[in-house]
Amino acid sequence: MVIPPSQQVKEDILIWIFKEILALEDNSNLYKACENDGITSMEALLCLNGTEEIDDLTYFDGTNKVKINNYDQGNIHALQHLWFNRALTLDPIARDWRNLSKEQ
């Protein structure tokens, strides 16, 4: 029997990917946008649709609403591409993403 990961585990995986794979700072554009839009798991990030939903990721900087920058949009697209590519080549990324290195 496979037990689904808790929400805290999902958030920990997302943070690990941001820090270890993408090497993002704690105050990065993508961190803030995910917090603001309630994206707390890789599944939610991977399910974002094309550029429309990714373009809509925003966060508040004081009272100003800010869209994530192109660099972070590219990070999301790269993660999505890598996940789908690995799934299609029958070398899937582990649920906890620990079988993925920064180089990959």
Question: Residue 67: enclosing H or E segment and its boundaries?
Answer: strand 64-67
pLDDT band at 1, cuts 50/70/90?
Answer: low
Residue range 11-70, pLDDT digits in tens: 999 999 999 999 998 889 999 999 888 899 999 999 998 778 898 898 888 899 999 999
pTM: 0.84
- In contact, 45 and 15? CB cutoff 8 Å: no
- In contact, 65 and 56? CB cutoff 8 Å: no
